[in-house]
């Protein structure tokens, strides 16, 4: 049976196409921006956990995005922490954001860093990190086409690549801690300290010992992803993600509202005919909602398909960037796209249902 809804959609191909495109744009915005945020966060958390530390000591109010944190921990605390009961290893890190590579650079003491399970596992080159030497991970080396012996500029300073390590050691670029402190102008200060408890130590006891010893500082439990996420301070991240979802939904909502509102006026006479045929208000509302749902459904599917393409392109061109799009995210994009469009069609549908049939029939 020929359907009035599909016939109406087909009869205005330009309007339909633009509406579908606008809804798709909203879904793309939601999925890609949300995906980059989630991907980056997941990547950070995953690589932080991959080091195998049990605790992370940070100045109070710091963020897991270490770049947001000041270098305000006294490096001398390393010795104090090492002496605490239940502590097996501690390594200080000074982190900086490297704008050129859009990522973090860790200044590390390789000897203590490598006491952790997720130490730098050298895949190529010499395991040396002193002076102006740098070690990068495989993903960074692939993205920048680096080989051991090559020179790269990091933080406005030239370094020689000595080795390429396995990805997953928290960040992708490592320089000597002493060099980083010099570049940062903070000779005694570091950003964070990774702490490993002794294998048989009770983690809660060690945590309490650290909390008592360093009041006012932040101690994250890095062994549990949920705890790490819960205790992580991500300034405005959730609000940002919510804002992206809201903006994309608003985009779909407004486009559908405008498109359907215009359609209602365009079809005033047809609504009058429907009423003269005995169509109930529910029938008319249903017809308009169906039309917008169909447009939004197509828009959301297009948005999902394009988002997947964008994800592949981003990953191919920028291997260090992570875009997370789970089946749940895609389903959310579809549902939110549909919901936004349906809500956008409600007012025009209400207007159509309330229309005076006699006036509608005489509409030119």
Partner 1 sequence: MGEMKDESSVANAIETINLEMTYRSGRVDVPAVQGLNLTVRQGEFIAIMGPSGCGKSTLLHLLGGLLQPTGGSILIDGIDISRLSDSERTTVRRKKISYVFQRFNLFPTLTAKGNIELAKKIHGNGAQNSNGIAPIFEMLGLGGKFNFRPSELSGGEQQRVAIARAVINRPSIILADEPTGSLDSRNSHTVLRMLRDLNEKLGQTIVMITHDSEAASTASRVIEMKDGRILTPTSRYSYEPEFERLY
- Phi then psi dihedrals of residue 177, to 5 deg: -60, -40
Q: Does 243 bind partner 1 (CB under 8 A)?
A: no
- 98 or 275: CB nearest partner 1: 275
> In terms of Cα–Cα distance, which of 163, 167, 151 is closest to 122?
163
Q: Does 17 bind partner 1 (CB under 8 A)?
A: no
Chain centroid to CA 239: how far?
Answer: 12
- How far CA 252 is from CA of 203, 224, 347, in Å, comes to 49, 38, 14
> In terms of Cα–Cα distance, which of 313, 254, 311 is closest to 35?
311
- 2 or 111: CB nearest partner 1: 2
Q: Does 351 bind partner 1 (CB under 8 A)?
A: no
Q: Does 269 bind partner 1 (CB under 8 A)?
A: yes
Distance CA 93, CA 58 (A): 10
- Tell me how crowded residue 165 is: count the other CB atoms within 10 A of its CB: 22
Q: Does 111 bind partner 1 (CB under 8 A)?
A: no
Q: How far apart are CB 19 and partner 1 at their closest, in Å? A: 17
Residue whose pair of structure tokens reads 């005995």 in the numeric block:
278
- Phi then psi dihedrals of residue 132, to 5 deg: -100, 35
- 167 or 272: CB nearest partner 1: 272
Distance CA 335, CA 242 (A): 15
- 336 or 355: CB nearest partner 1: 355
Q: Does 183 bind partner 1 (CB under 8 A)?
A: no
Residues 281 to 320 in contact with partner 1, rule: CB under 8 A: 281, 283
DSSP 68: G
DSSP 3-state of 11: helix
Q: How far apart are CB 354 and partner 1 at their closest, in Å? A: 10
Q: Does 7 bind partner 1 (CB under 8 A)?
A: yes
Q: Does 270 bind partner 1 (CB under 8 A)?
A: yes
Q: Which stretch binds partner 1 (CB under 8 A): 1-9, 99-107, 175-183, 340-348?
A: 1-9
CA-derived radius of gyration, the chain: 28
Chain centroid to CA 213: how far?
Answer: 35
Residue whose pair of structure tokens reads 């010992």 in the numeric block:
209
- 196 or 275: CB nearest partner 1: 275
The token pair at 218 is: 């932040």
Residues that contact partner 1, how many (by CB under 8 A): 23
> In terms of Cα–Cα distance, which of 104, 117, 131 is closest to 192?
104
**Residue selected from 74, 153, 262, 276 as contacting partner 1 according to rule CB under 8 A:** 276
Distance CA 48, CA 200 (A): 22
Q: Which stretch binds partner 1 (CB under 8 A): 23-31, 212-220, 318-326, 356-364?
A: 356-364
- 4 or 182: CB nearest partner 1: 4
**Residue selected from 275, 288, 299, 330 as contacting partner 1 according to rule CB under 8 A:** 275
- 216 or 278: CB nearest partner 1: 278
* Residue 91, strand partner residues: 194
**Residue selected from 81, 105, 274, 304 as contacting partner 1 according to rule CB under 8 A:** 274
**Residue selected from 45, 122, 246, 273 as contacting partner 1 according to rule CB under 8 A:** 273
Distance CA 131, CA 313 (A): 37
Q: Does 278 bind partner 1 (CB under 8 A)?
A: yes
Q: Which stretch binds partner 1 (CB under 8 A): 5-13, 88-96, 117-125, 304-312?
A: 5-13
Q: Among the residues of 29-159, which ranges form H helices? A: 34-50, 77-82, 110-113, 138-144
- 17 or 283: CB nearest partner 1: 283
- 13 or 199: CB nearest partner 1: 13
- 215 or 278: CB nearest partner 1: 278
Positions that interact with partner 1 (CB under 8 A): 1-2, 4, 7-8, 10-11, 269-270, 272-281, 283, 357-358, 361
């Amino acid at each position: 049976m020929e359907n009035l809804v599909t016939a109406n959609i087909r009869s205005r191909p330009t309007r339909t196409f633009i509406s579908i495109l606008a809804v798709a744009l909203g879904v793309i915005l939601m999925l890609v921006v949300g995906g980059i945020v989630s991907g980056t966060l997941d990547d950070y958390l995953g690589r932080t956990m991959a080091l195998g530390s049990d605790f992370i000591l940070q100045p109070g109010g710091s963020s897991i995005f270490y770049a947001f944190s000041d270098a305000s921990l006294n490096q001398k605390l390393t010795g104090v922490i090492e002496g605490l009961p239940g502590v097996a290893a501690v390594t200080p890190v000074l982190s900086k954001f490297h704008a050129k590579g859009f990522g973090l650079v860790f200044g590390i003491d390789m000897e203590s860093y490598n006491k952790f399970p997720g130490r730098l596992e050298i895949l190529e080159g010499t395991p040396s990190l002193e002076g102006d030497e740098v070690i990068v991970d495989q993903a960074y080396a692939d993205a920048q086409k680096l080989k051991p012996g090559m020179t790269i500029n990091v933080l406005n300073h030239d370094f020689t690549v000595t080795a390429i390590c396995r990805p997953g050691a928290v960040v992708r670029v490592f320089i000597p801690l002493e060099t980083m402190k010099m570049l940062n102008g903070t000779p005694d200060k570091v950003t964070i300290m990774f702490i490993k408890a002794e294998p048989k130590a009770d983690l809660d006891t060690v945590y309490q010992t650290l909390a008592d010893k360093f009041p006012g500082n932040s101690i994250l439990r890095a062994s549990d992803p949920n705890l790490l996420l819960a205790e992580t301070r991500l300034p405005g991240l959730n609000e940002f993600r919510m804002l992206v979802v809201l903006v994309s939904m608003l985009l779909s909502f407004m486009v559908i509202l405008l498109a359907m509102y215009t359609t209602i006026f365009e079809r005033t006479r047809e609504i009058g005919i429907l009423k003269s045929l005995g169509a109930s208000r529910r029938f008319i509302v249903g017809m308009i909602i169906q039309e917008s749902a169909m447009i939004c459904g197509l828009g959301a599917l297009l948005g999902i398909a394009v988002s997947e393409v964008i994800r592949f392109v981003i990953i191919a061109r920028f291997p260090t960037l992570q875009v997370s799009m789970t089946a749940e995210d895609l389903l959310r994009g579809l549902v939110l796209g549909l919901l936004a469009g349906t809500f956008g069609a409600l007012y025009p549908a209400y207007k159509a249902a309330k229309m005076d049939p006699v006036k509608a029939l005489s509409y030119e």
